[in-house]
Amino acid sequence: MRRTRKSEIINRMKISFSIIVSFLFVYFLIFEFIIPFPKVFPKPGEIFEAFPSLWNDYRFPSRFALTFAAVYFSLIGSYILIFISKLQIIKFHYIFPEMLKLPNILRYFPAFFFMLLFAYWFGGNSIAEFVFGFLYAFVILAFGLLREIPNVKKEYLDSAKSLKTPYDSLITNVIWKYCLPSLSKRAEELHYGIWVVIMIYEIFAQENGVGSIYFEALKYKDLSVIVLLGIIISIVILLGKVVIKHIEEKIVYWEN
Amino acid sequence: MEEKKLEIISISKEYSDEFGFKVKLLNNISFEISPGKFTGIVAPEGSGKTSLLKIISGLENPTRGQIIANRFMNIVFIPSGPSSFPWFTVMENLKFASKLDSEKQLQEIIKIIGLEGYENHIPHNKSLGFRFRIALGRALANKADLIVLDEPFNEMDIVTKEEIYELVRKIFVTTKIPFLLGTTNITEAIFLADKIHLMKKNPGEFIDKLDVNLPPERKIQLMSEPSFNDLRIKVENIFKTKESYKSLNFYI
């Protein structure tokens, strides 16, 4: 079963990789040779030439490092905090089950709204960016956990209670373990979401990170840099996804 | 020392339906679980069997009635779906429930349930029979005074069912731990139990009982013997007089 899951993931990766390579090939063919003066997309040659400018003029290494750190600090940090506080979160759910209605209310105030507020309060402050990313990831994961609790199979709960399992052990060894596969799936989805959220935040704040490169490239109408940055970020997200999948395979090796 | 005994006295269970009307699920059920006996309850689906078993296991409360034990009894409930935890290995599942002092004793239980060599396997991709064996092992490791089975064989294929029937009966004979089985399957109840209570639905009430006078050690071939068949016909005839007959599962 485990091997099947692993080969499924490898197959999916192979398909994604082939799609990207085919897309790049078609892109190269059309915009390098067929369309002589492309305005929608730059010539592939121009994209390669834009790399030194992105590296030096746009200060890519330091800005990318900041975004990268903010994304993975938020993701890993929130996951660790959920892990540490799982007992409290699950107990909290049983004390205030009404909490599950909160995401329905928050739906009308999307992350976009809070992003604007943070950018307004703290501007380009890097710590604020980290805090915002961390809070966003934590809220998504915590509500993911809370939503999964009512789905815990009655058979598991009944048999654990019947074996006179202490309450804390019931939470950590049964409820938490049951919720882990769905929480990992959510973390995987969150990985993409947090990249987008952090970059948009940086576009608003206009001072740091990959988002600010986008902002400046838009301002100077530098299409080659926008496309080049898009390609780099896609590759980084794809690699991040592979690493997360690999870690997930090691931690969550069962299906409920 | 006096043997542990459980008396179920006038248990009734009511609940309110979606329109707020009171529905009587169980009505005035009384019986006794004797030490060293395998008791079966045969009832049609929707008769409140699971609720009754959960009340006896302490997982639900009755509306009326009481359960009296002459001494403390550790009752372990095994539900109908797979209940062994897929995130633990076989050994970890047993350790999770264990009240035993040593790993050697757990190893002995693993031998009893027939999972020797599978200690480090995780059950998530294993058969229902495999997962039931773990649930049974956990009950033994938990030093159960009574094991309550709520239709655990329902989804198993026939070959696995027959293996598990023999295993359960063997464990009962060797350990002398009393079992209480709730089922819709008459054949299963006759093969496993020493005493069977027959229950109807709407509301759930006991309508009759009978003693199964078959040898303590039972092999699956017993099911094709005339004495076994006579008992089955007897139970069928009792149910035939009732409305609930059609919802019973006649597995041969």
Q: Indicate the Cα dihedral angle A192, A193, A194, A195, nearest 10°.
A: 50
A217: how many CB neighbours lie within 10 A of its CB? 21
Among A159, A161, A173, A251, most B C-beta atoms within 10 A, so best to mutate, is: A159
User: Are B74 and A164 within 8 A, CB to CB?
Assistant: yes
B203-B207-B209 Cα angle (round to 5): 140
Is residue A202's pLDDT more than 60?
yes
The predicted pLDDT at position B251 comes to 47
The predicted pLDDT at position A108 comes to 67
Q: Which residue has the higher pLDDT, A185 or A1?
A: A185
pLDDT above 70 covers what percent of chain B?
Answer: 95
Residues on chain B touching A180 (C-beta within 8 angstroms): 87
User: Are B142 and A161 within 8 A, CB to CB?
Assistant: no
Nearest-Cα residue of chain B relative to residue A164: B97
Q: Which residue has the higher pLDDT, A44 or B212?
A: B212
Mean pLDDT for B104-123 is 95
B180 touches chain A (CB under 8 A): no
The predicted pLDDT at position A42 comes to 83
Mean pLDDT (chain B) is 91
Token output for B73: 């009894």
Which of A204-213, B56-65, B208-217 bottoms out in mean pLDDT, i.e. has the lowest?
A204-213
Region of B135 on the Ramachandran plot (φ > 0 left; ψ -120 to 50 alpha; else beta) = alpha
Q: Which domains, and CATH codes, for chain B?
A: 6-73+145-242 (3.40.50.300)
Token output for B102: 């040593």
- pLDDT tens digit sequence for B150-200: 999 988 999 999 999 999 999 999 999 999 999 999 999 999 999 999 999
Confidence band (pLDDT; 50, 70, 90) for B252? Answer: very low
- pLDDT tens digit sequence for B29-80: 999 998 889 999 999 988 999 999 999 999 999 999 999 987 788 999 999 9
The length of chain A is: 256
Mean pLDDT for A77-94 is 93
Shortest CA gap B84–chain A (Å): 7
Instruction: Measure the CA–CA gap between B83 and B80, rounded to whole angstroms.
Output: 8
User: Are B77 and A153 within 8 A, CB to CB?
Assistant: no
Complex ipTM > 0.95: no
Mean pLDDT for A226-242 is 92
Which of A54-58, A173-177, A207-211 bottoms out in mean pLDDT, i.e. has the lowest?
A207-211
Q: Which residue has the higher pLDDT, A42 or B231?
A: B231
The predicted pLDDT at position A148 comes to 93
The predicted pLDDT at position A5 comes to 64
HEC states along B73-113? CCEEEECCCCCCCCCCCHHHHHHHHCCCCCHHHHHHHHHHC
Token output for B236: 């069928």
Nearest-Cα residue of chain B relative to residue A4: B125
B138 touches chain A (CB under 8 A): yes
Confidence band (pLDDT; 50, 70, 90) for B20? Answer: confident
The predicted pLDDT at position B65 comes to 94
Mean pLDDT for B115-134 is 93
Report the Cα A108 to chain-centroid distance in Å: 21
Of A1, A153, A162, the CB nearest to B59: A162
Q: Which domains, and CATH codes, for chain A?
A: 2-255 (1.10.3720.10)
The predicted pLDDT at position A124 comes to 75
B83 touches chain A (CB under 8 A): yes
Mean pLDDT (chain A) is 87
Cβ atoms of residues A177 and A251 within 8 Å: no
- pLDDT tens digit sequence for A164-200: 999 999 999 999 999 999 999 999 899 999 999 999 9
Residues on chain A touching B80 (C-beta within 8 angstroms): 155
Residues on chain A touching B83 (C-beta within 8 angstroms): 155-156, 158-159
User: Are B124 and A162 within 8 A, CB to CB?
Assistant: no
Cβ under 8 Å to B: A residues 83-102: none
Confidence band (pLDDT; 50, 70, 90) for A120? Answer: confident
The predicted pLDDT at position A125 comes to 83
pLDDT above 90 covers what percent of chain A?
Answer: 52
Which residues make beta-bridge pairs with B8?
Answer: B31, B67
B94: how many CB neighbours lie within 10 A of its CB? 27
Mean pLDDT for A83-111 is 80
